[in-house]
Amino acid sequence: MTALLGCIADDFTGGTDLAGMLVKAGMRTVQLIGVPTEPLPDDVDAVVIALKSRTNPVGEAVAESLSALRWLREAGCRQFYFKYCSTFDSTSRGNIGPVAEALMQALDTDFTIACPALPGNGRTLYKGNLFVGDVPLSESGMRNHPLTPMTDANLVRVLQQQAQRKVGLVDYATVSRGDAAIRERFTALRQQGHGFAIVDALFNADLDVIGAACADMPLVTGGSGIALGLPQNFRRRGLLASNAMAEALPKTAGLRAVISGSCSMATQRQVEVARASFPSFNVDPIRLARGEDVVSAALDWAGGHIAQQPVLIYATATPEAVRRVQAELGVEQAGNLVENALASIARGLIPAGVGQMIVAGGETSGAVVKALGVKGLRIGPEIDPGVPWTRTLHDDGTQPLALALKSGNFGSEDFFLKAWDKLR
C-alpha cells in the first residue's frame, strides 16, 4: 500500500508534532529528515518530510519544498499538507505565503486554506485573529521570538503581506454550521478571486469539520491541528483501516540527556523546573563568540554526571538576555553559534552512551538531527500534546536513539522530568 497523505513541515519539531497527530488519528507515520533519496517503507499511511525552511531565504525554502513535493508525488501520495507553526512563525517576506503558493502552482490548484489552530495547545482563531491561550498572538511570548517575532494577530493581514493571491476568511459563524457551509464559503471566496482562506477554529470538534470540508483539496496548509480531521476522509473512502497500534515503538535503552536551545516562555519554565532536579550546564553565546571550547567543556562536565541521572544542557535565556546577545553578535550569528554548539554537544553525547534524548526548540532540533545524521523517525506515543517520542531510523546500522523533539512553546512545566516515563 502506498502512503495516502504526503506532508511537508517547515521545521523538525513541527514535523514530529504533525506526525504525532496523524499517529493519534490512526495513521502509521514516518518522518523523514530532508528530502529522502531512498524509497518509502511500505507499512506507512502518511509521510512527513521535515525541512528546516522556516527561516531560510525565501528562494531556498521554496526550492526545498518543491523538491519534497516531487518526492511525495512519486511516492504515490494522494493529498498534500504543508505544516507550519501554530503561531504562524514567519516574517513579512515569508516563508508561509511563498511556499504555499509555489506548492499550489505545482499541484495546479488555485485555492487552499491556512489554519494554524491547535485548540489542545491554546491556539484558537476567531475573526481571523490568532490567540495563544488567553491573549492575541501579538501579546504572547511570540512577540519576542529571536528569529520570527510575531507582532500582528490578524492572520488575513499577516498572510496577505507574504502572498500574491488574495486572502479571505471563513469565520466562526460559518464553521459552526458544519462542513457543507464551509465548502459553500470556499466556493464563494474562490469565485471572488481569493486563493487562500484563513479558517476560524475554537474547539477540537471544529478541526474535524474543517478537515471534512478539505477532503477534495489537493493541498491543505496549517498547523498540526487540522491534520487531525484528514485521516477520517481516507477512512470514509475505504482507503485507511483503523490502526490502533499506529504508535507502537520498540524499547530503546541508554543514558538520558536534554538539549535546550529554545527561548520560548514554556521552555524557560521547563528549564527552570528541570534545573532544580538534575545537573545542568549553560551554553553561553558570548563565550562561544570568544572562541572558547564550550563544546568540550560541556561534554567533560556531562561525563561526570550522566551515568547517575539525566543531564540538561541549555542555552535557553530570557528575552532581555537574548536581546543583549543579539545586539552584540547579531541575530543570525547568535542563533547559528548556539545551534552549532548544541548540535556538536548532542553528537558528542552519543558515544558517551546517550540513548534517550529530548531536544527543545525547532531550529535547535533541526541542527541536532542533522548533526546526528538521522535520516528518519518512526513516531511513537505522545508525551504532551504535539510532542511524541520517536525512534531514529538509520541506514548505517547505528544504534537507534529515542528522540523527543519539543517545540519551544509546548509541554507542561515538568516536561523534562516526566517524559522518560513514556519510554518504560
Ligand X SMILES: O=C(O)[C@@H](O)C(=O)COP(=O)(O)O
> For residues 339 and 366, what is the distance between their CA atoms, to the nearest angstrom?
9
Set of cell numbers at residue 73: 508525488
∠ Cα 124 6 346 (to 5°)? 80
| 200 part of the interface to ligand X, by CB under 6 A | no
- Of the candidates 135, 85, 149, the one whose C-alpha atom is nearest the C-alpha of residue 115 is 85
Which is closer to ligand X, CB of 120 or CB of 400? 120
| 26 part of the interface to ligand X, by CB under 6 A | no
Strands 194-199 and 112-115: parallel
| 315 part of the interface to ligand ADP, by CB under 6 A | yes
| 26 part of the interface to ligand ADP, by CB under 6 A | no
- Beta-carbon neighbour count of residue 243 at 10 Å? 17
> For residues 312 and 310, what is the distance between their CA atoms, to the nearest angstrom?
7
Choose the stretch contacting ligand X; rule: CB under 6 A; options: 6-14, 187-195, 246-254, 372-380. Answer: 6-14
Give the shortest CB-314-to-ligand ADP separation in angstroms. Answer: 8
| 14 part of the interface to ligand ADP, by CB under 6 A | no
| 334 part of the interface to ligand ADP, by CB under 6 A | yes
Residues 371-410 that bind ligand ADP (CB under 6 A): 407-408
| 377 part of the interface to ligand X, by CB under 6 A | no
Phi then psi dihedrals of residue 169, to 5 deg: -130, 135
Cβ neighbours for 277, distance < 8 A, ≥ 6 positions apart: 417
Choose the stretch contacting ligand ADP; rule: CB under 6 A; options: 101-109, 220-228, 319-327, 371-379. Answer: 319-327
| 339 part of the interface to ligand X, by CB under 6 A | no
| 407 part of the interface to ligand X, by CB under 6 A | yes
Provide the 8-state DSSP code for 81: E
Q: Residue 259: helix, strand or coil by DSSP? A: strand
Strands 219-222 and 255-260: unpaired
| 388 part of the interface to ligand X, by CB under 6 A | no
Set of cell numbers at residue 72: 511525495
Which is closer to ligand X, CB of 14 or CB of 195? 14
| 361 part of the interface to ligand X, by CB under 6 A | yes
- Beta-carbon neighbour count of residue 126 at 10 Å? 15
Residue 285 touches which of ligand X, ligand ADP, none (CB < 5 to 8 A by kind)? ligand ADP
Cβ neighbours for 269, distance < 8 A, ≥ 6 positions apart: 413
Give the shortest CB-17-to-ligand ADP separation in angstroms. Answer: 11
Residues 154-183 that bind ligand ADP (CB under 6 A): none
Provide the 8-state DSSP code for 150: -
Burial of 42 (0-12, 13-18, 19+ CB in 10 A): exposed
Choose the stretch contacting ligand ADP; rule: CB under 6 A; options: 21-29, 196-204, 360-368, 381-389. Answer: 360-368
Set of cell numbers at residue 217: 483539496
Residue 86 touches which of ligand ADP, ligand X, none (CB < 5 to 8 A by kind)? ligand X
Residue 339 touches which of ligand X, ligand ADP, none (CB < 5 to 8 A by kind)? ligand ADP
Set of cell numbers at residue 131: 490567540
Mask: binding to ligand X, 50-89, rule CB under 6 A, as x and -? -----------------------------------xxx--
Give the shortest CB-362-to-ligand X separation in angstroms. Answer: 2
**Cross-strand partners of 358:** 258, 404
Q: Is the dihedral of CA 193, 198, 201, 204 positive or negative?
A: positive
> For residues 5 and 22, what is the distance between their CA atoms, to the nearest angstrom?
10
Give the shortest CB-142-to-ligand X separation in angstroms. Answer: 9
- Of the candidates 241, 237, 84, 196, the one whose C-alpha atom is nearest the C-alpha of residue 148 is 84
Residue 341 touches which of ligand ADP, ligand X, none (CB < 5 to 8 A by kind)? none
Residues 258-287 that bind ligand X (CB under 6 A): 264
Name the residue with the smallest CB distance to ligand ADP. 408
Residues 70-129 that bind ligand ADP (CB under 6 A): none
Which is closer to ligand X, CB of 344 or CB of 407? 407
Contacting positions for ligand X (CB under 6 A)? 11, 13-14, 17, 85-87, 223-224, 264, 361-362, 386, 407-409
